[in-house]
Chains A and B, each alone.
Chain A
Amino acid sequence: MFVQIKDLCFSYGKENTIQNFNLSINQGQIVSILGESGSGKSTVLRLLCGLETPNRGEISIGGDVMTDDRRFVLPEKRGIGMVFQDYALFPHMTVAENIQFGLKGYGRKAKKQRTDEVLELVNMTTLAKRYPHELSGGQQQRIALARALAPKPSLLLLDEPFSNLDADLQIKIRSELKEIIKQTGTTSIFVTHDREDSKAIADRIITMRDGSAYDWDSICTIKSEFPEEQWTTVQ
């Protein structure tokens, strides 16, 4: 198992947001966590990348323990890439500077080369000199993806990647997204409230309600065992 989450618990204040959450993911898999707002799905991502500290439980990635009772690896040391819901592109930096931000330990040439590579990957080579506010929503999203992929993360997290796009764009971009991620072979987890997104991209869907997970191994099982009309009433 590449990602292993065991008995994860977390609370904001007094309310338990995550209760005994368990999940394991194989390398290269694209997993979608599907749930309504407030189900704690984004919190799972924040716990995975170390922006929140769990109350209990264990997380390991690629065999290394990130969090348990004795250890806590800081977010900047985890080597995880993240695409934020509203992209969080640094407004005072150009596209190229945004992408190079995460390329620590690269030489000048190597930085330039890697930047070109990821820009090519997302088909945005012409926009390197632009500032984020000069880009459309879809372009911003692709740059955010390029920025997250540039340092070659072992795990890629995407928080509601389509929520800021119009419906037309959403359909076009999600197939692109799947292709790009598959091209890099990066293990990925993305969180969404839209089951169409899940179906279009994920190899495997997890649904969340009240802080716990329900797991289906493939979309096929979902479709066969649970007709679409029943999805909201499941569990």
Chain B
Amino acid sequence: MKWLRKLPGYMNIWTWLSLIIVVLILLPNVTIFINFFTQEAENWGHIQEFILPDLLKNTSLLMVFTGILSILIGTSLAWLTSAYDFPMKRFFKWALILPLAIPPYIAGYTYNGILNYTGVIQTTLRNRWGMEVDQKYFDILTLPGAVFIFTLFLYPYVYTITRAFLANQSASIIENARLLGRNAWEIYFRIVLPISRGAIVGGVSLVLLEVLNDYGLVQYFGVPTFSTAIFQTWFGMNDLTSAIKLSATLMFIVFGILVLEKVLRGRKKYSYSNAKVRPLTPITLKGGKAWAAFSYSLIVFSLGFLIPFIQLVDWMFLTYDKIASPEFTSLITNSLVVSFIGAAMIVVFAVIIANFARMHHSIVSKSAARVTILGYSIPGAVIAVGISTVFIQIDQVLFGFYDMIGITPTLALSTSLFMLISAYVIRFLAVGYNSIESGFDKVGNKFTEASRMLGMNVTKSFFKVDARMIRGSLVSAFILAFIEILKELPLTLILRPFNFDTLSTKAFQYASDEQIHEASLASIIIVLISGVAIYVFHQVLEKEQN
């Protein structure tokens, strides 16, 4: 009865569209689970016995070590840059986020290019000083090598979240500890780490999900994981059903991480939303300590951004004449076009669901918001498997339909860009959604309510009032989604139409063909665009807030 009464308030286009979008997002994921339990796969027994143990071992090792190391680097840098002043701190504060601009697969082949026999280090040692080194010390194409790359290029997730927390939430606690006579190390281990637990767990979950999502780096480094195994069973053994079963197994691991995140964050709330935000006042370091802090930041920044970036620029000059061609221009166009369409669709979908969710406080609207975010935790290869299964099934239905109305039947959908872009939308909807949701949170509901009291319906209110007020969030949602799509590799590799290349697939292809230098131009463009975006978001926006 009560439920029936509330129904008319829901009856508008936003509700219907939201429900449709939610179903579209769930469809590929549900398909994977249904197929996991129903389909028989010819190679599954073999995979379970001989491949799965290795996959589990590699995946666990990668996650455990990358997780621990990125916590160490991320939190220590977050603490240094929020609690202390040292030379060039203002620069490092945002520069230490820059490693995120280099996708791990690009970082991986760049480091391999630096360290291998023909790389800059070994050739210098050989030609200048006549030193021959033992190759085993310079071989990065190993599991520890992959951990090294993952850590250096993913730690910023831990760094940014923890730093935001420390800088804004911790002032009174830290200052109290200082007054109580605790030294810096004690404060770090006994206060900072425990109180930032929620932030650290949040950051490290993102790191782990990125590790699970990665295909390019582990493939290049020859470390078999679920992503590579899904590619292999699907395209190598032509066994989609086994690929589905692997995907489902990987999804169980993802859900495990998400549950663990919830549990570890605990019920304790380590944020004081009611208290006024008071930034932590940094202490100025002097002498040796200042230089130690500076050197540490510089080393991480150099390894995580400067060195690979300079190397890429160097290679770019070597190969520019060869690579820059009309063909390369079409790569750029392809990348920009899919990123643009994908990001635009993400903004539209995210706006619809966020607006629906904020208008109603019910289980339905909350679950809609949850589902929207789901895609971001699911690895690209898994989404690719799910999406193509769904699209192939739709195509089969359409196939009969085409036949009936007398058009030559084709597998139109599952070979089109439409499939790739749908996959992007599912995978990165959360990126746009979070930005738009926080925009809505800031303005609240009162302007919409005022507009409705003046006779405008929900849709008109959105276009005349809400959209104007969250313009900034709409723009940042678009940019963030655009960049994620630009960098994306596994989905694009699997779902792109025949002969359709983007900057990221081409860079990966060159690197896989041992043409590392040739991969640099495409990589540089990706890194530059992402780097500029990071600069804008963390430097300019932070200044605006102050």
User: Cβ of A74 and Cβ of B457 under 8 Å apart?
Assistant: yes
Q: Confirm or deny: A166 has a beta carbon within 8 angstroms of a beta carbon on chain B.
A: no
**Contact partners of A49 in chain B: CB under 8 A:** 453
Q: Which of A49, A75, A92, A151 has the most CB of B within 10 A?
A: A75
User: Cβ of B455 and Cβ of A51 under 8 Å apart?
Assistant: no
User: Cβ of B450 and Cβ of A81 under 8 Å apart?
Assistant: no
User: Cβ of A55 and Cβ of B2 under 8 Å apart?
Assistant: yes
Q: Confirm or deny: B9 has a beta carbon within 8 angstroms of a beta carbon on chain A.
A: yes
User: Cβ of B449 and Cβ of A102 under 8 Å apart?
Assistant: no
Nearest CB of A to B3, in Å: 10
Which of A72, A92, A101, A147 contacts B468, CB < 8 Å? A92
Q: Which of A71-126 contact B (CB under 8 A)?
A: 72, 74-77, 79-82, 84, 86, 88-92, 101-102, 104
User: Cβ of A104 and Cβ of B455 under 8 Å apart?
Assistant: yes
Q: Confirm or deny: B451 has a beta carbon within 8 angstroms of a beta carbon on chain A.
A: yes
Q: Which of B1, B446, B452, B453 has the most CB of A within 10 A?
A: B453
**Contact partners of B451 in chain A: CB under 8 A:** 90, 101
Nearest CB of A to B257, in Å: 30
User: Cβ of B8 and Cβ of A72 under 8 Å apart?
Assistant: yes
Nearest CB of B to A140, in Å: 13
User: Cβ of B452 and Cβ of A101 under 8 Å apart?
Assistant: no
User: Cβ of A53 and Cβ of B454 under 8 Å apart?
Assistant: no
**Contact partners of A88 in chain B: CB under 8 A:** 446-447, 449-450
User: Cβ of A76 and Cβ of B6 under 8 Å apart?
Assistant: no
User: Cβ of A151 and Cβ of B449 under 8 Å apart?
Assistant: no
**Contact partners of A74 in chain B: CB under 8 A:** 8-9, 452, 457
Q: Which of A54, A72, A147 has the most CB of B within 10 A?
A: A72
User: Cβ of B450 and Cβ of A54 under 8 Å apart?
Assistant: no
User: Cβ of B6 and Cβ of A82 under 8 Å apart?
Assistant: no
Q: Confirm or deny: A168 has a beta carbon within 8 angstroms of a beta carbon on chain B.
A: no
For B4, give the chain A residue with the smallest CB separation: A69
Nearest CB of B to A165, in Å: 18
User: Cβ of A101 and Cβ of B454 under 8 Å apart?
Assistant: yes
Q: Which of B1, B450, B451 has the most CB of A within 10 A?
A: B450
User: Cβ of A102 and Cβ of B454 under 8 Å apart?
Assistant: yes
For A73, give the chain B residue with the smallest CB separation: B8
Q: Confirm or deny: B469 has a beta carbon within 8 angstroms of a beta carbon on chain A.
A: yes
Nearest CB of A to B281, in Å: 31
| Assembled-state Cα–Cα distance A119/B181 (Å) | 63
| Assembled-state Cα–Cα distance A101/B451 (Å) | 8
Q: Mark A54-77, 1 if CB is under 8 A from B, else 0.
A: 111000000000010100101111
Which of B1, B450, B464 contacts A82, CB < 8 Å? B450
Nearest CB of B to A154, in Å: 13
Q: Contacts A53-B6, A92-B469 hold; do A84 and B449 have CB atoms under 8 A apart? A: yes
Q: Mark B314-330, 1 if CB is under 8 A from A, else 0.
A: 00000000000000000
Q: Contacts A88-B447, A90-B465, A101-B464 hold; do A81 and B5 have CB atoms under 8 A apart? A: no
**Contact partners of A147 in chain B: CB under 8 A:** 454
Nearest CB of B to A186, in Å: 14
| Assembled-state Cα–Cα distance A157/B464 (Å) | 23
Which of A53, A82, A86, A91 contacts B5, CB < 8 Å? A53
| Assembled-state Cα–Cα distance A209/B502 (Å) | 65
Q: Confirm or deny: B283 has a beta carbon within 8 angstroms of a beta carbon on chain A.
A: no
Q: Confirm or deny: B456 has a beta carbon within 8 angstroms of a beta carbon on chain A.
A: yes
**Contact partners of B6 in chain A: CB under 8 A:** 53
**Contact partners of A84 in chain B: CB under 8 A:** 446, 449-450
Q: Which of B466-484 contact A (CB under 8 A)?
A: 468-469
**Contact partners of A79 in chain B: CB under 8 A:** 455
For B451, give the chain A residue with the smallest CB separation: A101
| Assembled-state Cα–Cα distance A79/B455 (Å) | 7
For A55, give the chain B residue with the smallest CB separation: B2
Q: Contacts A82-B450, A88-B450, A91-B469 hold; do A102 and B9 have CB atoms under 8 A apart? A: no
**Contact partners of A145 in chain B: CB under 8 A:** none
Q: Contacts A53-B5, A54-B5, A72-B8 hold; do A90 and B450 have CB atoms under 8 A apart? A: yes
| Assembled-state Cα–Cα distance A144/B266 (Å) | 44
**Contact partners of B453 in chain A: CB under 8 A:** 49, 51, 75-76, 80-82, 102, 148
| Assembled-state Cα–Cα distance A76/B456 (Å) | 6
Q: Mark A130-163, 1 if CB is under 8 A from B, else 0.
A: 0000000000000000011001000000000000
For A150, give the chain B residue with the smallest CB separation: B454
User: Cβ of B446 and Cβ of A72 under 8 Å apart?
Assistant: no
User: Cβ of A151 and Cβ of B5 under 8 Å apart?
Assistant: no
Q: Mark B435-453, 1 if CB is under 8 A from A, else 0.
A: 0000000000011011111
Q: Which of B117-155 contact A (CB under 8 A)?
A: none
| Assembled-state Cα–Cα distance A60/B447 (Å) | 25
For B460, give the chain A residue with the smallest CB separation: A76
Q: Contacts A92-B468, A102-B454, A147-B454 hold; do A72 and B5 have CB atoms under 8 A apart? A: yes
**Contact partners of A82 in chain B: CB under 8 A:** 449-450, 453
For A102, give the chain B residue with the smallest CB separation: B454
**Contact partners of B446 in chain A: CB under 8 A:** 84, 86, 88
Q: Can you list 6 A-B contacts (CB < 8 A)?
A: A51-B453, A69-B1, A76-B453, A82-B453, A91-B469, A101-B454
Closest 4 CB pairs of A and B: A102-B454, A88-B450, A72-B8, A82-B453
| B interface residues, Cβ below 8 angstroms from A | 1-2, 5-6, 8-9, 446-447, 449-457, 464-465, 468-469
| A interface residues, Cβ below 8 angstroms from B | 49, 51, 53-56, 67, 69, 72, 74-77, 79-82, 84, 86, 88-92, 101-102, 104, 147-148, 151
